[in-house]
Amino acid sequence: MAIAVYLAIYSGLLVFLIGCFLRIREYSRVPFHLRWELYPVPHEAPQYAAHGGSYFESAESWRKPQEHHHVREWAAMLEEIVFLRSVWESNRRLWVSSFCLHSGLYLSIAAAALAAIAGVVPAHAALIPVSAGLATAAAWIGITGAVVIVDGAILLLISRVREPGLRNYTKGADIFNLLFFVATFGLLIAGTLVSGHAAATAEIVRGALRLDLSLPIHPLLGAGVVCASALAAYIPFTHMSHFIAKYFTWHEVRWDDRRMERGGALERRMAENLQYRPTWAAKHVGADGQRSWVEIAAGDPPQEVRK
């Protein structure tokens, strides 16, 4: 039993990391795009950020260095990630369920991290209380996280089925994903409750780190861990990997107000784009696959007869 559970954990984590890497690579390799920011932008100077404004509010702003206040940006990110501020402000109906699901996930990840730390604490007599304390904290945080996730996922399922606005845009996979969460964390809760003298989740993590094949694992908890590993492997290949997308949408689109400076790094990045050779077919574009983007932009449009 233990070897199967460990293999699931190793492979689940590996696929998760590979999937995340591929996603990040996909979006990082896309060409540097035109500015498309949305205000408020939290890293603007305080006198502008207070009302959602920008450096454009100052005459001759181009004479002054552009300010970038990282602390304000981090605070805004923290508020968004931990408390789901956008959902709170714009979709209060969905906030409770969404907050449960997300905060439960954070708690579960924290529990896994604590269990992993407990697992690598040396088996020295003086450190046994530390290890045990971490494992106990991991168990309580983990079980709390799992319960909150199950609640959130069930509430989201109900919303997706009952609310017409959500129902009409809900695909088979969306229902499956939420059921996957309910099943996985339901099994982990049930497995923890019935495992008795068998290993707890924290001990499984410790066993996986030390390849302890003698560890007794209750089949129900083992199934929960296998499901959790499969879920981790599955997430990067779905829209649930929005934790990656969000970095790009917020930092490289919504909040990216970096202006061009002559001879600057952005100008060098853009120079490559201006040499692309588009092939759009409408006559007025004048693209033939030979002329570069900048040549097309610098020329006048061929006259055409429009439909």
Partner 1 sequence: MRPGVSLNDFSRTDREPLIHLSNADLMPLPEPLTDKKDDPVSPALSEECRNRYECGLDDTCAVNIPQPKSPQEEERLVAQFLTGLEKLFSAANNWTFLQPLLLTMEHCTGCQTCADACHIFEASGRNELYRPTFRSEVLRRLYFKFVKHGGLFSAWQHGDIRLNWPLVARLIELSYRCNLCRRCAQACPIGCDNGLVAHELRKLFSQEMGIAARELHDQGSMLQLKAGSSTGMNAEVVKDNVAFIDEDISERTGIEVHTPWDVHGADVLLIHNAGEIMAWPENPGAFALILTLAGVSWTMSSELAGYDSINYGLWYDDAQFARVALKHVEAARKLGVKRVVLGECGHAHKALCVVADRMLTGEFNVPRESSLPLLRDIVLGGKIRFDPTRNDFPVTLHDPCNLVRLMGVVEPQREIVRALCPQFREMEPHGVDNYCCGGGSGFAIMSGNNFSDWRFHVAGRRKLDQVLTAFSDCLDPATPKYLCAPCSNCKGQFRDMLAYYDLWEKNRILYGGLVELIVNAATDVKPGFIEWEWH
Least CB distance to partner 1 at residue 49 (A): 9
Contacting residue, 1, 20, 53, 144, with partner 1 by CB under 8 A: 53
Site for partner 1 contains 278 (CB under 8 A): yes
Contacting residue, 91, 127, 128, 219, with partner 1 by CB under 8 A: 91
Least CB distance to partner 1 at residue 238 (A): 7
Stretch of 4-12, 69-77, 82-90, 129-137 lying at the interface with partner 1 (CB under 8 A): 82-90
Q: Check the CA dihedral 124-134-12-245 and report its sign.
A: negative
Within 10 angstroms of residue 89's Cβ, the number of other Cβ atoms is 9
Site for partner 1 contains 277 (CB under 8 A): yes
Give whichever of 88 and 121 is closer to partner 1, judged by the CB atom: 88
Contact 276, 254 (CB under 8 A): no
Q: What token pair was written down for 44?
A: 């603007």
Q: Which residues lie closer than 8 Å to 33 by C-beta, 6 or more apart?
A: 253
Q: Which residues lie closer than 8 Å to 179 by C-beta, 6 or more apart?
A: 153, 157
Site for partner 1 contains 3 (CB under 8 A): no
Q: Give the interface size with partner 1 as a residue count (CB under 8 A).
A: 96
The span from the CA of 160 to the CA of 256, in Å, is 33
DSSP 73-122: HHHHHHHHHHH-HHHHHH-HHHHHHHHHHHHHHHHHHHHHHHHHHHHHS-
Q: Which residues lie closer than 8 Å to 273 by C-beta, 6 or more apart?
A: 31, 32, 293
Give whichever of 50 and 213 is closer to partner 1, judged by the CB atom: 50
Site for partner 1 contains 210 (CB under 8 A): no
Q: Pattern 19-48, binding to partner 1, x per CB under 8 A?
A: -------xx--xxxxxxxxxxxx--x---x
Q: For residues 96-155, which are near partner 1 according to CB under 8 A?
A: 98
The span from the CA of 97 to the CA of 102, in Å, is 9
Q: Check the CA dihedral 223-226-231-237 and report its sign.
A: negative
Give whichever of 71 and 281 is closer to partner 1, judged by the CB atom: 281
Site for partner 1 contains 56 (CB under 8 A): yes
Stretch of 8-16, 70-78, 84-92, 117-125 lying at the interface with partner 1 (CB under 8 A): 84-92
Stretch of 70-78, 143-151, 213-221, 272-280 lying at the interface with partner 1 (CB under 8 A): 272-280
Site for partner 1 contains 267 (CB under 8 A): yes
Site for partner 1 contains 64 (CB under 8 A): no
